[in-house]
A and B are shown apart, each in its own frame.
Chain A
Amino acid sequence: MIYLDNSATTKVAPAVLETYTKVSQKIWGNPSSLHALGESAYSLLEQARKQIADLLGVKSGEIFFTSGGTEGDNWVLKGTAIEKMEYGKHLITSSIEHPAVLNAMAQLEKLGFEVTYLPVDKHGHVSADDLKKAIRPDTILVSIMAVNNEIGAIQPLDKIADVLRDYPKIHFHVDAVQGIGKGIQSLIMNDRVDFVTFSGHKFHAPRGIGFMFKRHGRKIAPLMSGGGQEKNLRSGTENLPAIAAMSKALRLLLESESTKVQNQLKIKQFIYDHITQFPKVTVFSEMNNKFAPHILCFTINGVRGETIVHAFEDHDIYISTTSACSSKKHEISGTLNSMAIPAKIATSAVRVSLDENNTLVEAEEFTKVFDKLYSRFEKINS
């Protein structure tokens, strides 16, 4: 099996699963309990938090555990809206965000908030100038993803941060679900960003766990009210086995990060060089530093994305249409649509997404199968 759908989810690493199991069996106390079992769980919880904070170069008190990327995005958007509605009801995001952002925004619009959706250029990047023009006195939040999940475009967070330095009161959120461990940590954790959301299962941790960075001093309303966990901002008994496992997964992910990134770049380049020789292939993920090393989105014009996915699957190779979240709905890619790619081409798009465990041997196998499929589809495609 060759798994090339790592942006959808990743396989839990054995060492990470071991932590999950051990914590479940041995440190199963509730971190809020006063007795020794609880104290032990609390101590592990705080050490896991500190490890994550250290890896990101921030303070322990700035890390909050969530159930994943979708919760993190919803929390920052709705929590900011609730917290700051007296100051303004205008939010800004891009038109190529993950549905967790776009649909949360849509919900806020129904409640009377106004949302500006920034356009992207034909390569899938937002422009800091557009952002500057969109800012109003009542703007309370700017939410821009680090790496687009469909084509891998890295957004110009440094320039966006520069613009927002003149507006210190606006909350700046970065959805970094696809960006962690991809060699752009300093871009993501820049000195202007206020909220950054992460998802564990994108880096070999279990499902149902994620975390949020909240800059010290920034205020946000909780979505989960209850027993007061996470400084009363995210109640609910802490998912300690998953938290410890994620903390370990993050440490493993960031160990020799640059070597891993280079490997993924080599594989992406190899596939890129191969498929761009074919006239009917359009590639959206380019080979430059404005694109992430692990995502390659392309089309074989005239063949539906779904068909391509299943054809590869017959050869035990797993890729996806542009994003797992929308792939079952037969919708065309939101990102490609925003890039003004004609629907006829966009419906053909598929995505190869790598992790640090993929190899060049797998890439060679992929290209061999690609050649077979390409010539086979020529019959319907001339």
Chain B
Amino acid sequence: MQYSEIMVRYGELSTKGKNRRSFIDRLAHNVRKSLHQFPNLVVKAHRDRMHLQLHGENSEAVMTSLKKVFGIQNFSPSIRVERDIEAVKERALEMIKDQFSDGMTFKINTRRSDHDFEFDTNEMNDILGGYILKNLPGISVKMKAPDLKLRVEVRKNGIFLSSQTINGAGGLPVGTAGKAMMMLSGGIDSPVAAYLAMKRGVEIEMVHFFSPPYTSEQALNKAKELTAKLTPYVGHIKFIEVPFTEIQETVKHDVPSGYLMTVQRRFMLRIAALLAKRRDGLAIFNGESLGQVASQTLESMLAINDVTTMPILRPVVSMDKNEIIKIAQEIDTFDLSIKPFEDCCTIFAPPSPKTKPRLDKARDYEARLDIDGLIERAVTGIKISEIKNGETFLNQQENKFAELL
């Protein structure tokens, strides 16, 4: 069915008191960005609801994109009918028929914002209910928990019919919780952590460490592709590549193998914290899950975390691998994450990293290195790009192949 309007109900926004207006404005902004490929669509954000006027845009496609916008509790597509009771009767019957199967119950729920219309709510309920009962054998009326509920809204500019409520993505509008740096490796966990951060309203910027020639161009493209997978929730995401070769080579050369990983991570975290400060970020997110690997024990976290006082948030810290994989599959990052390219975490992985590194030792080993110089050179070499919804990086040959197939 092609709908003419979609009514959006806000999620937790209703509890936001004085900040409510800024939340709503932000959500409207995000909705517009996510739906930018529908030029005729008009977004009107009101205090309680948001209305999307489709003006002929494909309602199915719009709803598919809308389902990914955080901050939406649910939404109902509706059809606008002229303020003519005969027309309303026909469309109401059509809509119910569309979802009806034998033995179902229904109810009509009319609301009027325009009290000048010739029928009041009870009359409307009677007229439409009676018409449907007469023309659809096998249907019956039920007031409490009916199978089908047809909402009728009488407004100045027409009468709006809707019969479905579709769940939105929940969460908070991205951007309302501020900005943070996301440490994105290319594995299964960090994209899930990024998704969960966005779900709570955080605007994230991806920080990806790459070490050519030890990591390939494909590993970098994979991280970008993963980022692209997350753009439908926000429209676009900044991607920061940090050249990490010099640091990794130096650490490998100067630090005992048991502390390679710990010291490397301390460098990564220092860089992420520096970038956050320079770019107005308020926190750092990563995909660490407690106990999953050597760098993710509490001892390791303590030894690594030591380099900054900035909050480090770990959305998947208490999840089992299977729980993380389930979300990765839902957001369609899993198949990409398991592509076997070496990344900065897997190269130079020592044969037996310390699962319980000591903070004092990590500090000692590190003291031999030119920490500030190494970090300054890495940060000077960063490249920032903006990844947009629909961009692809790994299969750029698709167009070339189209003529072959």
Give every chain A residue within 8 A of B405 (Cβ-Cβ): 19, 47-48, 51, 244, 247-248, 251
Give the shortest distance, in Å, between B110 (CB) and chain A (any CB): 42
Main secondary structure of the interface of B (DSSP, over half): loop
Contacting chain A: which of B20-28, B34-42, B393-401?
B393-401
Interface residues of B in 200-239 (CB under 8 A from A): 216, 218
Task: Report how far A248 CA is from B405 CA in the complex, Å.
Answer: 5
**A22, A39, A48: residue with the most chain B Cβ atoms closer than 10 Å:** A39
**B397, B398, B404: residue with the most chain A Cβ atoms closer than 10 Å:** B404
Residue of B nearest to A41 (CB): B397
Task: Report how far A34 CA is from B217 CA in the complex, Å.
Answer: 11
Give the shortest distance, in Å, between A21 (CB) and chain B (any CB): 10
Give every chain A residue within 8 A of B401 (Cβ-Cβ): 43-44, 47
Per-residue contact bits, chain A 28-71, to B (CB 8 Å; 1 contact, 0 not): 00000010000110011001100100000000000000000000
Give every chain B residue within 8 A of A44 (Cβ-Cβ): 397, 401, 404
Give every chain A residue within 8 A of B398 (Cβ-Cβ): 43, 47
**B394, B395, B398, B405: residue with the most chain A Cβ atoms closer than 10 Å:** B405
Residue of B nearest to A48 (CB): B405
Give every chain B residue within 8 A of A244 (Cβ-Cβ): 404-405
Q: Are B218 and A248 within 8 A (Cβ)?
A: no
A205 within 8 A of B: no
Partner of B404, one of A19, A34, A39: A19
A151 within 8 A of B: no
Task: Report how far A244 CA is from B402 CA in the complex, Å.
Answer: 11
Q: Are A22 and B404 within 8 A (Cβ)?
A: yes
Give the shortest distance, in Å, between A231 (CB) and chain B (any CB): 13
Give the shortest distance, in Å, between B88 (CB) and chain A (any CB): 39
Give every chain A residue within 8 A of B394 (Cβ-Cβ): 43
A23 within 8 A of B: yes
Q: Are B395 and A43 within 8 A (Cβ)?
A: yes
**B218, B394, B395: residue with the most chain A Cβ atoms closer than 10 Å:** B395
Task: Report how far A164 CA is from B372 CA in the complex, Å.
Answer: 71
Main secondary structure of the interface of A (DSSP, over half): helix
Give every chain B residue within 8 A of A248 (Cβ-Cβ): 404-405
Q: Interface residue count for B (Cβ, 8 Å)?
A: 9
Task: Report how far A48 CA is from B216 CA in the complex, Å.
Answer: 26
Q: Are A40 and B404 within 8 A (Cβ)?
A: no
Residue of B nearest to A248 (CB): B405
Give every chain A residue within 8 A of B216 (Cβ-Cβ): 34
Per-residue contact bits, chain A 1-41, to B (CB 8 Å; 1 contact, 0 not): 00000000000000000010011000000000010000110
Give the shortest distance, in Å, between B405 (CB) and chain A (any CB): 5
Task: Report how far A43 CA is from B225 CA in the complex, Å.
Answer: 15
Task: Report how far A22 CA is from B404 CA in the complex, Å.
Answer: 8
Give every chain B residue within 8 A of A47 (Cβ-Cβ): 395, 398, 401, 405
Interface residues of A in 236-258 (CB under 8 A from B): 244, 247-248, 251
Give the shortest distance, in Å, between A61 (CB) and chain B (any CB): 10
Give every chain B residue within 8 A of A48 (Cβ-Cβ): 405
Residue of A nearest to B340 (CB): A34
Per-residue contact bits, chain B 379-402, to A (CB 8 Å; 1 contact, 0 not): 000000000000000110110010
Give every chain A residue within 8 A of B218 (Cβ-Cβ): 39
Give the shortest distance, in Å, between A283 (CB) and chain B (any CB): 40
Give the shortest distance, in Å, between B222 (CB) and chain A (any CB): 11
Give the shortest distance, in Å, between B280 (CB) and chain A (any CB): 38
Per-residue contact bits, chain B 290-325, to A (CB 8 Å; 1 contact, 0 not): 000000000000000000000000000000000000
Interface residues of B in 342-373 (CB under 8 A from A): none
Task: Report how far A247 CA is from B401 CA in the complex, Å.
Answer: 12
Give every chain B residue within 8 A of A247 (Cβ-Cβ): 405
Task: Report how far A47 CA is from B398 CA in the complex, Å.
Answer: 8
Task: Report how far A22 CA is from B395 CA in the complex, Å.
Answer: 19
Task: Report how far A22 CA is from B400 CA in the complex, Å.
Answer: 11
Task: Report how far A246 CA is from B395 CA in the complex, Å.
Answer: 21
Give every chain A residue within 8 A of B395 (Cβ-Cβ): 43, 47
Give the shortest distance, in Å, between B329 (CB) and chain A (any CB): 13
Residue of B nearest to A244 (CB): B404
Give the shortest distance, in Å, between B398 (CB) and chain A (any CB): 7
Interface residues of A in 321-380 (CB under 8 A from B): none
Task: Report how far A6 CA is from B269 CA in the complex, Å.
Answer: 67
Task: Report how far A43 CA is from B394 CA in the complex, Å.
Answer: 9
Give every chain B residue within 8 A of A34 (Cβ-Cβ): 216
Give the shortest distance, in Å, between A261 (CB) and chain B (any CB): 23
Partner of B397, one of A22, A23, A43: A43
Task: Report how far A247 CA is from B402 CA in the complex, Å.
Answer: 11
Give the shortest distance, in Å, between A72 (CB) and chain B (any CB): 21
Give every chain B residue within 8 A of A39 (Cβ-Cβ): 218
Give the shortest distance, in Å, between B43 (CB) and chain A (any CB): 34
Give the shortest distance, in Å, between A277 (CB) and chain B (any CB): 46
Task: Report how far A47 CA is from B397 CA in the complex, Å.
Answer: 10
Task: Report how far A48 CA is from B402 CA in the complex, Å.
Answer: 10
Interface residues of A in 194-245 (CB under 8 A from B): 244
Residue of A nearest to B396 (CB): A43
Give the shortest distance, in Å, between B217 (CB) and chain A (any CB): 8
Give every chain B residue within 8 A of A43 (Cβ-Cβ): 394-395, 397-398, 401
Residue of B nearest to A47 (CB): B401
Task: Report how far A277 CA is from B366 CA in the complex, Å.
Answer: 98
Task: Report how far A43 CA is from B400 CA in the complex, Å.
Answer: 11
Give every chain B residue within 8 A of A51 (Cβ-Cβ): 405
Task: Report how far A300 CA is from B155 CA in the complex, Å.
Answer: 79
Give the shortest distance, in Å, between A216 (CB) and chain B (any CB): 14
Residue of B nearest to A18 (CB): B404
Task: Report how far A48 CA is from B394 CA in the complex, Å.
Answer: 16
Per-residue contact bits, chain B 274-299, to A (CB 8 Å; 1 contact, 0 not): 00000000000000000000000000
Task: Report how far A130 CA is from B385 CA in the complex, Å.
Answer: 67
Task: Report how far A44 CA is from B401 CA in the complex, Å.
Answer: 7
Give the shortest distance, in Å, between B402 (CB) and chain A (any CB): 9
Task: Report how far A180 CA is from B79 CA in the complex, Å.
Answer: 43
Task: Report how far A39 CA is from B340 CA in the complex, Å.
Answer: 12
Chain A residues with a Cβ under 8 A of chain B: 19, 22-23, 34, 39-40, 43-44, 47-48, 51, 244, 247-248, 251
Given A43-B395, A47-B395: 8 more A-B contacts, CB < 8 Å = A19-B404, A23-B404, A34-B216, A39-B218, A40-B397, A43-B394, A47-B401, A248-B405
9 contacts between A and B (CB under 8 A): A39-B218, A40-B397, A44-B397, A44-B404, A47-B395, A47-B398, A244-B404, A247-B405, A248-B404
* Minimum-distance CB pairs A-B, first 7: A19-B404, A247-B405, A51-B405, A43-B395, A248-B405, A47-B401, A44-B401
